[in-house]
A = this chain, B = another copy of it.
Amino acid sequence: MKITEFGREELAVLEKELRAEYEKFAAMGLKLDMSRGKPSPEQLDKINGLLEVLDGGDYKTEAGVDTRNYGILDGIPEMKKIFSDLTGIPCDQIVVGGNSSLNLMFDAMMRLMVFGTEGNAPWKEQGKLKWLCPSPGYDRHFGVTELLGFEMIPVPMTENGPDMAVVEELAAKDPAVKGIWCVPLYSNPQGICYSDETVDRLASMKTAAEDFRIFWDNAYGVHHIYEERKLKDILSACKEAGNENRVFYFFSTSKITFPGAGVSMIASSPANVAEIRKAMTIQTIGSDKVNQLRHVRYFGNAENVKKHMAAMAETLRPKFDMVLDTLKEELDGTGLAFFNSPKGGYFVSVDTLPGCAKRTVALAKEAGVVMTGAGATYPYKKDPEDKNIRIAPTYPSLEELDKAIHLFCLCVKLAGVEKLLEK
């Protein structure tokens, strides 16, 4: 029987039990953190060789360019080749950036604000603009569109990606709707993978704005943990649909090599890449080529990147197992929480009963376990139903995670029972 179907008395008894258990946890003086979507030290140690691969003094590309010096605006050819083989995007549609794909997204947005695209007026001159935000989603995406003054419109997620009926209607009717954030594979935080149909509908839908843009952040494109999910190539789909310039595609090695010192890329149609280069050639003389060469020398090719990610998956699987098994054991059948089982990426997403996310996170915090702030996965950090919580299992050790996720489940239940008793 679901806890949500308990009578008041049963609930009162259960609350007492849960609170007693919670007090035991609280007394342990835990200091744990499940908020950080970043690799563990063990993951990073697996790739330290990257930092020594240039030892010995050969700093030239195959074509003989000295990576230490000025030159090459948009990335050394060998780095483009690896990105190309990983993403299926032709090399000449790829522009290599620095250590942050977020920065490439911000820059792309700033260019649209100041210069516009395809002869349309700069976005800064087009009045109040709107942006579609599949939610729950990535807080840093929402941060960019918030800073730039967009009205952010949450779009519900389905198991196949954003609810396309909603997206299509909003995009078609309002020219102020300028674009959409997408994390198409193992979405942050739910781990949802966009279906081929979703990709096709995004590529072919009618948009009232001529300069509607999809910001396609394939942050977890090779971050398979349990099985390898495929993602339909949106650049080709857009081209076939006659909307070749609709997508900016982002990818990086932040969670392949080092979050602090990886290599990022932006890719798009030839016309968009020409616009990117036009501004970029004024903005910089080029990104860090020595670091690109490090990545190229260390991996050699895309196949070895995939092998490395398989090894990363080995490290991550026990952590995801621990979290998912515990959620199942503790919460399945209670009616107090809903979660799906991601096959890759960096997160597990839990929906509590409506109105319980903040309370759950607060309870966890009081007992020494930091979670991502409730609401963080929604535009303006406002979860309309106060129910979504993002769990980041990668950074803590297994032992820490064990304690933390058990406490978390307890907090979900306690907050849920408290809520049911309010009625």
Q: Which residues of A are interface residues toward B (Cβ below 8 A)? A: 36, 38-39, 41, 44-45, 48, 51-52, 54-55, 57, 59, 66-71, 98-100, 102-103, 106-107, 110, 113-114, 122, 124-125, 140, 143-144, 146-148, 258-261, 279, 282-291
Decide: A290 near B51, CB < 8 A? Known: A282-B106, A284-B102.
Answer: yes
- Do A261 and B284 touch across chains, with their CB atoms under 8 A apart? no
- Do B110 and A114 touch across chains, with their CB atoms under 8 A apart? yes
Contacts of A36 in B (CB 8 A): 70
What is the distance, in angstroms, from A27's C-beta to the closest C-beta of chain B? 28
- Do B70 and A259 touch across chains, with their CB atoms under 8 A apart? yes
- Do A261 and B283 touch across chains, with their CB atoms under 8 A apart? no
Contacts of A41 in B (CB 8 A): 66, 69
- Do B284 and A103 touch across chains, with their CB atoms under 8 A apart? yes
Contacts of A286 in B (CB 8 A): 100, 260
- Do A69 and B288 touch across chains, with their CB atoms under 8 A apart? no
Q: In the complex, A48→B60 CA distance in Å? A: 13
Selected from B100, B146, B147, B288, the residue in CB contact (under 8 A) with A284 is: B100
What is the distance, in angstroms, from A263's C-beta to the closest C-beta of chain B? 10
What is the distance, in angstroms, from A174's C-beta to the closest C-beta of chain B? 23
Contacts of A113 in B (CB 8 A): 113-114, 124
- Do A68 and B52 touch across chains, with their CB atoms under 8 A apart? no
> Which of A36, A59, A144, A261 is the most central at the interface, judged by chain B CB atoms within 10 Å of its CB?
A261
Q: In the complex, A354→B140 CA distance in Å? A: 55
- Do A67 and B100 touch across chains, with their CB atoms under 8 A apart? no
Q: In the complex, A288→B260 CA distance in Å? A: 5
- Do B290 and A260 touch across chains, with their CB atoms under 8 A apart? yes
What is the distance, in angstroms, from A188's C-beta to the closest C-beta of chain B? 14
Q: In the complex, A285→B104 CA distance in Å? A: 12
Q: In the complex, A114→B143 CA distance in Å? A: 16
Q: In the complex, A332→B125 CA distance in Å? A: 55
What is the distance, in angstroms, from A125's C-beta to the closest C-beta of chain B? 7
Contacts of A140 in B (CB 8 A): 282, 285
Decide: A69 near B258, CB < 8 A? Known: A102-B285, A147-B279, A283-B102.
Answer: yes
- Do A147 and B282 touch across chains, with their CB atoms under 8 A apart? yes
Taking CB as reference atom, which chain B residue is nearest A113?
B114
Contacts of A261 in B (CB 8 A): 67-68, 288-291
